[in-house]
């Protein structure tokens, strides 16, 4: 049993009731299908429509666009519950894409796409990474050339979450000079879009239910009013300004998985016998689990504090980088320690701890690698 947490202002009874509703829905309607989704390598898009219908896809969206107008904490609670149930990060990406539209879309763009994103009729992906660049996004080469009232897009993206299932993409393209100032974001409806092609669905170490794909743009023509926002060249600023929220979408699941790993391991080691006693009763097991439980408590405390600060509008970039760095590193460490305590069974994918260990590995890479987080934190330290 983990210690009681400090109750921040955002943790009111209403949000706890919402959490309960989300948890029950995931357990009843999603978890029973998870094995099939893992085997086929994707979650069908249709699954997100009833999820959206329950108000779980974009609770934070304003009512004017058919959202619930709730605080961002509601979205974080959804991500928390999905991660706890071993569901992958598909809807986190969807939420980030929607936030680009909420914050930078013209009124016409918001009216056109946000209601569909809330209902689940549209599933979104974000296409930034290219075969030649990931961390160094300002080097991206996919180009959108202006041609009359259109843009014509040429290039390729890779590692795109929801790449196979999404029907709406926010794509980073080069509309101008080399470097960050030549980058813009465009929005594509991909169904039957000439010149757009989904390449391979990539086979991954973990997160098998989540589709990750290559995308190709061969002369894709879109109206110029699908540029996100009013002006070209603002893509990088748009990307950067969403980062604290995006980091929260990674560290909330990290905290959830750490807690779940500890719970599962306590349960398992109590019933597993060796040398005439339960594995839990070995001092090594108890010490390891005590360390992991401490990390779980610190991670959750840190994440809850960042959540409150985000809601108060005072979550600075550096705290968000630190939370992403630390929580995802601890997720890797705790899932590894816990797997060890399962012995050989921990290596069997039919055991959740094995899947949690594999799924955790990507957390230190996507959404900005641990090295990039350290570089960003150190950059601020270097400023006098």
Ligand X SMILES: Cc1cc2nc3c(=O)[nH]c(=O)nc-3n(C[C@H](O)[C@H](O)[C@H](O)COP(=O)(O)OP(=O)(O)OC[C@H]3O[C@@H](n4cnc5c(N)ncnc54)[C@H](O)[C@@H]3O)c2cc1C
**Taking contact as CB under 6 A, which single stretch among the options 19-27, 65-73, 346-354, 361-369 is the one that binds ligand X?**
361-369
Contact of 315 with 309, CB cutoff 8 Å: yes
Contact of 120 with 58, CB cutoff 8 Å: no
159 in contact with ligand X (CB under 6 A): yes
128 in contact with ligand X (CB under 6 A): yes
Q: Which of residues 163-222 bind ligand X (CB under 6 A)?
A: 204, 207, 212
Total number of residues binding ligand X (CB under 6 A)?
21
Choosing from 12, 16, 20, 135, the residue that interacts with ligand X (CB under 6 A) is 135
Choosing from 2, 280, 369, 377, the residue that interacts with ligand X (CB under 6 A) is 369
123 in contact with ligand X (CB under 6 A): no
Q: How far apart are CA 243 and CA 266, in angstroms?
A: 35
Rg (CA), the chain: 21
Strand spans (E) along 202-337: 212-223, 273-274, 277-278
Q: How far apart are CA 341 and CA 232, in angstroms?
A: 54
> Does 203 qualify as catalytic in the annotation?
no
**CA 212 to chain CA mean position, Å:** 13
User: Cβ–Cβ contacts within 10 Å for residue 14, how many?
Assistant: 10
Q: Give the position of tokens 């921990």.
A: 346
Q: How far apart are CA 1 and CA 263, in angstroms?
A: 8
Judged by beta carbon, residue 77 or residue 127, the one nearer ligand X is 127
> Residue with the closest Cβ to ligand X?
134
Q: Output phi, psi for 199, to 5 deg.
A: -85, -135
160 in contact with ligand X (CB under 6 A): yes
Tell me which DSSP letter residue 6 carries. P
Choosing from 371, 378, 379, 380, the residue that interacts with ligand X (CB under 6 A) is 371
Question: Per the residue annotation, which of 130, 232, 234, 246 is the catalytic one?
Answer: 246
* CB of residue 343 to ligand X, shortest distance in Å: 28
* CB of residue 91 to ligand X, shortest distance in Å: 12
Write out the catalytic residue numbers.
246
Binding site residues, ligand X, CB under 6 A? 93, 125-129, 134-135, 159-161, 204, 207, 212, 362, 365-366, 369, 371-372, 375
């Amino acid at each position: 049993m983990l210690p009681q947490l400090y109750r921040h202002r955002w943790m009111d009874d209403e949000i706890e009731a919402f959490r309960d509703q989300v948890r029950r829905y995931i357990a009843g309607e999603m978890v029973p299908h998870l094995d099939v989704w893992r085997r086929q390598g994707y979650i069908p898009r249709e699954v997100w429509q009833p999820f959206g219908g329950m108000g779980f896809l974009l609770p934070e969206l304003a009512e004017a666009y058919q959202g619930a107008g709730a605080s961002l904490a509601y979205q974080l609670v959804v991500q928390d519950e999905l991660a706890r149930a071993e569901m992958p990060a598909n809807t986190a990406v969807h939420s980030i894409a929607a936030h680009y539209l909420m914050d930078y879309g013209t009124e016409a763009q918001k009216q056109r796409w946000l209601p569909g994103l809330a209902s689940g009729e549209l599933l979104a992906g974000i296409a930034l990474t290219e075969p030649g660049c990931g961390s160094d996004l300002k080097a991206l080469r996919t180009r959108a050339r202006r041609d009359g009232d259109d843009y014509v897009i040429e290039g390729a993206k890779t590692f795109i979450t929801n790449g196979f299932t999404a029907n709406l993409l926010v794509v980073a393209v080069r509309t101008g000079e080399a470097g960050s100032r030549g980058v813009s974001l465009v929005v594509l409806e991909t169904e039957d879009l000439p010149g757009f092609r989904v390449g391979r669905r990539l086979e991954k170490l973990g997160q098998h239910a989540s589709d990750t794909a290559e995308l190709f743009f061969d002369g894709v023509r879109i109206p110029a009013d699908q540029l996100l926002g009013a002006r070209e060249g603002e893509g990088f600023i748009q990307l950067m300004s969403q980062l604290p929220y995006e980091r929260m979408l990674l560290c909330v699941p990290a905290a959830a998985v750490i807690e779940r790993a500890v719970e599962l391991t306590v349960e398992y080691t109590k019933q597993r016998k060796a040398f005439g006693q339960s594995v839990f009763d070995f001092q090594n097991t108890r010490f390891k689990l005590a360390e992991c439980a401490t990390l779980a408590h610190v991670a959750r405390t840190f994440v809850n504090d960042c959540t409150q600060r985000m809601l108060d509008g005072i979550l600075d970039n550096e705290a968000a980088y630190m939370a992403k760095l630390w929580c995802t590193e601890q997720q890797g460490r705790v899932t590894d320690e816990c797997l060890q305590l399962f012995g050989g069974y921990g290596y069997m994918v039919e055991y959740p701890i094995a899947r949690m260990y594999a799924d955790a590995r990507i957390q230190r890479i996507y959404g900005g690698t641990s090295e990039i987080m350290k570089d960003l934190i150190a950059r601020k330290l270097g400023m006098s």
